[in-house]
């Protein structure tokens, strides 16, 4: 009897110890959950397959993301439904017939595309802002792997980069949604854009402007006569057109530049104060008519021989394109640039290789009133020609160095997807075809 009693006591003690361990683990898990919205495995999947910037999460913001389908593919609704079910409701993809309001645009492309589809996207901080995918027309029609193509395109749009582990997922036509995809997408949309996987918090630098304490920032209210002037903050950040208010500006001195066609540019330094709105009212002056003698000098310069004009650096703006891969400059990379010559109404294409600093240097001639001619750049002549065709059809837009900023050059740092990582100087979106 004594032995049986002893065994029961020992068994009871073991059960109590095990219960205590389980309880402690449960409490510890809850404590961890309060500091971090994600488990260790979820963090691993987001870090591996997500569109990350360091330890910061990047994704579509919460709310409805409208999708415009400009292709012949009819199976997109079922793919979108599956993605929405996986994400779980914070961000919802929804088909729309309105291309203007759509953040995701899928379209067919007549010319052959090297990898069946080609995507361009842009960010607003840690929020995905716009995604556009062109699909080779032959893949858009009857094609054996068409379902797989559109699935892999939309999985990447949602935020899962299968190319992070191509050994596991194989070729794109072999891809299917598995437990890792589902778990990663659910985890990705559990946390807000800018969420720091290391600290488990959204740092101030990663918060959207509306979440930052307004008492730490100021604002500038801009009006102009006439209205409709383009507004640049600190020379190169294009904001919009007057009248407007620029809010969430860090305190200190900032330069505001207003540009309006046929008028002299307006530049003012503004001392921004936290919690205050500074009013700036600009009245434009018309550009003085060029004296006849000056017109003759310019005409004479334009008619000079090529040999003579090569030494005339004042007749061109300088566009410097720095090619980087993960912030490291890449040497001997071919960059193509084409500008629209307003005098001959033709596009002139140049090719340069990047130097030891990853930089290719181009000269783009002056256009009217001191701005550069419209120019575009890409990594191949084929893509340059495609862009020229799209600009002519008003499906694409070029850029120029705007007038009135006393700016002779611009430096654009780009990656292999032509995303502009850094910009020194002002760039204005422009087209020679009105």
For the chain of 434 residues, list the mean pLDDT of each consecutive stretch of 10.
61 60 44 61 90 86 88 88 86 85 84 66 86 77 75 91 82 84 92 87 60 67 86 67 84 82 76 89 64 32 33 65 84 92 83 90 80 88 87 82 74 82 78 77
* 8 A C-beta contact, residue 165 and residue 49: yes
* 8 A C-beta contact, residue 129 and residue 51: no
* 8 A C-beta contact, residue 162 and residue 152: yes
pLDDT at residue 338 in the model: 92
C-alpha–C-alpha distance, residues 180 and 165, integer Å: 12
The contacts of residue 232 (CB under 8 Å, 6+ apart) are 238, 239, 256, 257, 258, 259, 402, 405, 426
pLDDT at residue 55 in the model: 85
Helix (H) or strand (E) holding 177: none
C-alpha–C-alpha distance, residues 135 and 70, integer Å: 10
pLDDT at residue 68 in the model: 92
pLDDT at residue 404 in the model: 60
pLDDT at residue 114 in the model: 54
Helices 179-188, 76-87: axis angle to 10 degrees equals: 70
pLDDT at residue 184 in the model: 92
**For residue 347, which of 327, 369, 375 has the smallest C-alpha distance?**
375
pLDDT at residue 362 in the model: 92
Would strands 244-249 and 277-283 be described as parallel, antiparallel, or unpaired?
A: unpaired
Query: What is the reported pTM?
Result: 0.43
How is residue 306 written in tokens?
A: 């090529």
Q: Where are the alpha helices (DSSP H) in 106-191?
A: 137-140, 146-158, 166-169, 179-188
């Amino acid at each position: 009897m004594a032995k049986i009693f002893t065994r029961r006591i020992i068994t009871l003690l073991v059960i109590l110890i095990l219960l205590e361990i389980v309880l402690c683990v449960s409490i510890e898990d809850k404590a961890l959950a309060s500091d971090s919205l994600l488990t260790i495995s979820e963090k691993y999947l987001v870090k591996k397959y997500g569109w990350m910037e360091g330890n910061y999460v990047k994704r579509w913001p919460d709310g409805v993301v409208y999708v415009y389908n400009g292709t012949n593919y009819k199976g997109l609704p079922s793919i979108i439904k599956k993605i929405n079910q996986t994400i779980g409701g914070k961000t919802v993809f929804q088909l729309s017939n309105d291309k203007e309001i759509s953040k995701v645009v899928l379209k067919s492309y007549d010319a052959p595309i090297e990898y069946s589809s080609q995507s361009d996207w842009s960010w607003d901080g840690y929020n995905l802002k716009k995604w556009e995918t062109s699909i080779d027309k032959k893949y858009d029609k009857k094609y054996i792997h068409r379902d797989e193509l559109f699935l892999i395109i939309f999985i990447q749009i949602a935020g899962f980069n299968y190319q992070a582990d191509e050994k596991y997922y194989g070729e794109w036509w072999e891809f299917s949604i598995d437990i890792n995809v589902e778990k990663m997408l659910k985890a990705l949309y559990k946390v807000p854009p800018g969420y720091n996987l290391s600290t488990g918090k959204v740092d101030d630098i990663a918060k959207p402007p509306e979440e930052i304490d307004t008492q730490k920032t100021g604002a500038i209210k801009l009006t102009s006569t006439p209205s409709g002037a383009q507004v640049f903050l600190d020379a190169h950040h294009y904001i919009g057109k007057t009248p407007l208010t620029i809010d969430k500006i860090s305190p200190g001195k900032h330069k505001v530049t207003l540009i309006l066609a046929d008028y002299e540019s307006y530049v003012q330094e503004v001392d921004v104060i936290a919690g205050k709105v500074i009013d700036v009212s600009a009245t434009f002056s018309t550009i003085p008519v060029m004296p006849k003698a000056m017109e003759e000098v310019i005409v004479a310069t334009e008619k000079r021989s090529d040999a003579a004009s090569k030494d005339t650096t004042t007749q061109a703006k300088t566009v410097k394109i720095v090619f980087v891969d993960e912030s490291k400059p890449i040497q001997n990379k071919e960059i193509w640039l084409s500008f629209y010559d307003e005098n001959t109404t033709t596009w002139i294409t140049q090719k340069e290789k990047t130097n030891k600093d990853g930089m290719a240097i181009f000269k783009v001639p002056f256009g009217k009133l001191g701005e550069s001619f419209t120019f575009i750049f890409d990594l191949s002549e084929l893509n340059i020609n495609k862009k020229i065709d799209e600009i002519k059809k008003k499906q694409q837009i070029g850029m120029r160095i705007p007038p009135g900023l006393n700016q002779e050059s611009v430096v654009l740092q780009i990656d292999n997807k032509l995303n502009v990582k850094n910009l020194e100087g002002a760039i204005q979106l422009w087209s020679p075809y009105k």
